Amino acid sequence: MSDEPQDRRVDRRSFLARMGALGAAAALGTPFAASGSGHFDRTGLRGSSPEGAREFWQGVRRTLPASVDSPAELTASEAAVLIREGTLDPVELVEACLDRIGRWDDRYLAFNTVLAEEARASARALNSEGDDAGLLRGIPLAVKDNYYTEGVLTTANSHIFRDFRPEWDAEAVRRLRSAGGIVIGKTQMGPLATTRALTPDGKITTVNAWTPANPSVSPGGSSSGSATAVAARMASSSIGTQTGGSITVPALAQGLTGLKPTMGRVSLRGVIPLTYSRDHPGPIARDARDAALLLQVMAGPDPADPRTLGLPPVPDYLTAATPRGDQEDEPIRWPTRLGVLPGWADGDDPAASGRRAFLREMEAAGVRMVEVTPSEQWDELSSSLMNAVRLPERTEPFLEYLREDVRLFGVSLNSWMQGLFLSADEYLKGQRARHALLASTLDEIFGHCDAVVQTGHVPFDMIGLPLLALPTGHRPTEDGPRPHGILLGAPPFGEERLLSIAAAWQTRTEHHRVRPPVLDELREARLLPPAGASRGRLSAEDVAERSQ
Amino acid sequence: MPDDRSPALNTTGGRAPSDEELDAYIRTRLALIGIDLSVLPEEDPDAPADQAGVHRSIRNFLRNTVPALSAYELDPQAWPPVLYPAALPPVGEERVGER
């Protein structure tokens, strides 16, 4: 196990010089490519040392809840510990999740497809495999409906894919299953990964698990169903994709820990593309430990996705997410400088109080605060203007469908059409701006710190750097308490650093353990609208405006 | 009603294109690559998409995003284009500067 995280061992100057060549090579990658990489350690321990894994499981064991109403209330790591110890049967865990889906998902509408029988069969099969079944043995996972799943509908909530049953699993899904994970269902999403979960024609589907009686409160998009499934304890953990905030926004909206890894860290083969150069697969989890567990399994090179090749080896995320147990007063794993933007913690609202509490606790945990002030040029380079450069990348792979019938795009059509009207010189201008933004980020921000607080996801989405969202508290609303949280960014391959900070925070606080209201109680109190009642709709203009 | 005019267009010294001219450009571009909007209703706020909304959306994009992006200047010697900025070489011995 390394004594320092990977972000300290990267040569940034040579990487800046090399980016152009990698960009050209990676352009060959296509999610429509054929299957078959086979390079995977089925234990899911790639990058994790036996010592790191042991320390991780010991840490989880120490903080197990004294009792739970249902195994579905356990985090993925907690359930995994109990399964490894033989005190929880994977079948029991799967049944607990299916029971909740059966009772509640007519209100949450988190799932497009529930794989009840397949999940039961997988759980039963794992019981005969013993301890060799991998890191995620028996863990029920919700998978966003833009990941290919063999023989299972993969719709991306779009007319285009309404009958699409892939013949193979996306590489990320294949790895999760190989490590013993059980896909319990495919989750609702924004049509083609654009905005909050909707039908292709714009009707609101998934609700926020914190406000199931009020569909106007966004569950966060576009990985809405994955977040609601986990927040409502219908799956132990989940995966989403992020092109413009689609992991971190739903995580923040629903009190979860979402991690968008560095571009290339997780294969995109078998993910329906939205923007080749900005799509990122990653976990939406209950806490940092669960995010580490999933990323440990998902990460690594895939010969069929050149974006994943030639990168630093997969490090030990489990260790990163394990606070130092023997130093309770200083649980941060590595010496860390956290960049704080001027005014970031100012304000009188609960979210600002949460930000200040985070800074206080992190200082107490040994993190050194450093004020960082990005330049005006940094702001320009990461503006909504430069963000628009992503649009031709979404249009190009879908041209045949645009020619076939534009109605296939439903309410998502506008941004696909806009992508046809950016010229090549303007597109190149945007790629040059991304290069400038990255250099500016490394110099103005990460020249002074190891991780940085962020106020939005766009800059780090544009340049493929890792982002982590975590909850910092809850604020009262007329719909009941709703979570708030913060975003942290890191330099290339800084996932360990982000996980170490999140784990230190979550060791000292309980916000990530607070669950949304129990649906049965709302139902008994007659606080829910009738099942099947209209939830409203978004127009094409709404979707284009909110598009990821 | 015409969409808002972009200030960037006025700096060119030329006349800002009208809605009709932009619509002709849009129709021409779509015809060139074989995309048919006529399958959509002309104007129907209850439909998932309509022709009027698509034209309005593209006109706004052409008037606001495209000229501003085109006008943005970067040092041509400094920033070659890259698609995947976060890609890195394998970890080497060199450290990330002094900390």
Say if residue A37's pLDDT is above 60: no
**B32 at interface of A, judged by CB pairs closer than 8 A:** no
pLDDT-derived band at A412, boundaries 50, 70, 90: very high
Compute the distance between CA of residue A73 and CA of residue B16 in angstroms, rounded to an integer.
60
- Catalytic residue of the set A77, A222, A277, A382: A222
Across the interface, which of B39, B88, B96 has its CB nearest the CB of A407? Answer: B39
E strands present in A227-273? 237-242, 257-260
Per CATH, which fold does A6-326+333-546 belong to? Amidase signature (AS) enzymes (3.90.1300)
List A residues 213-232 in contact with B (Cβ-Cβ < 8 A).
Answer: none
Q: What is the mean pLDDT of residues A235-243?
A: 98
**A68 at interface of B, judged by CB pairs closer than 8 A:** no
**B1 at interface of A, judged by CB pairs closer than 8 A:** no
**A313 at interface of B, judged by CB pairs closer than 8 A:** yes
A372, A449 contact by CB (below 8 A): yes
Q: Say what the pLDDT of residue A127 is.
A: 78
Q: Which residues of A touch B50 (CB under 8 A)?
A: 540
A243, A272 contact by CB (below 8 A): no
CB–CB of A410 and B48 under 8 A? yes
**B99 at interface of A, judged by CB pairs closer than 8 A:** yes
Q: Is A246 a catalytic residue?
A: yes
Strand order in the sheet with A451-454: A111-114, A182-187, A140-144, A237-242, A280-285, A257-260, A467-475, A482-489, A451-454, A337-340, A368-371
What is the SS3 assignment for A241?
strand
- Catalytic residue of the set A144, A178, A260, A547: A144
Angstroms from A217 CA to nearest CA on chain B: 21
What's chain B's length in residues? 99
Q: Say what the pLDDT of residue A130 is.
A: 61
- Catalytic residue of the set A178, A226, A246, A415: A246
CB–CB of B91 and A389 under 8 A? no
Say if residue A225's pLDDT is above 90: yes
Q: Is A144 a catalytic residue?
A: yes
Residues in a beta bridge with A376: none
Residue-averaged pLDDT of chain A: 91
Q: What is the mean pLDDT of residues A230-245?
A: 98
Question: Which of B96, B98, B99 is the mutation pick for testing A, counting most A CBs within 10 A?
Answer: B96
Q: Compute and round to an integer the Cα radius of gyration of chain B.
A: 21
**Type and span of the H or E element at A285:** strand A280-285
Q: Could you tell me the maximum CA-CA distance found in chain B, to the nearest angstrom?
A: 63
**A8 at interface of B, judged by CB pairs closer than 8 A:** yes
How many alpha carbons lie under 13 Å from residue A5 in its C-beta half-sphere? 26
pLDDT-derived band at A48, boundaries 50, 70, 90: confident
**A311 at interface of B, judged by CB pairs closer than 8 A:** yes
pLDDT-derived band at A20, boundaries 50, 70, 90: very low
CB–CB of A418 and B57 under 8 A? yes
Q: Which residues of A touch B81 (CB under 8 A)?
A: 20, 23, 428, 431-432, 434-435
pLDDT-derived band at A32, boundaries 50, 70, 90: very low
What's chain A's length in residues? 548
Q: Say what the pLDDT of residue A328 is.
A: 60
Q: What is the pLDDT of residues A531-544, one digit of tens each?
A: 888 999 999 988 98
Q: What is the pLDDT of residues A511-524, one digit of tens each?
A: 999 999 998 888 88
Say if residue A2's pLDDT is above 90: no
Across the interface, which of A24, A429, A541 has its CB nearest the CB of B72? Answer: A429
Across the interface, which of A311, A337, A422 has its CB nearest the CB of B88? Answer: A311
ipTM value for the complex: 0.89
And the tokens for A386? 């430069």
Which of these, A14, A183, A215, A32, lies nearest to A115 by C-alpha position?
A: A183
Q: What is the pLDDT of residues A254-311, one digit of tens each?
A: 999 999 999 999 999 999 999 999 999 999 999 999 999 999 999 999 999 999 998 9
A250, amino acid identity: P
Q: What is the mean pLDDT of residues B72-82?
A: 92
Q: Say what the pLDDT of residue A287 is.
A: 98
List B residues 48-87 in contact with A (Cβ-Cβ < 8 A).
Answer: 48-50, 53-54, 57-58, 61-62, 65-66, 68-70, 72, 74, 78-87
- Sequence spans of domains, chain B: 7-71
Q: Say what the pLDDT of residue B99 is.
A: 31
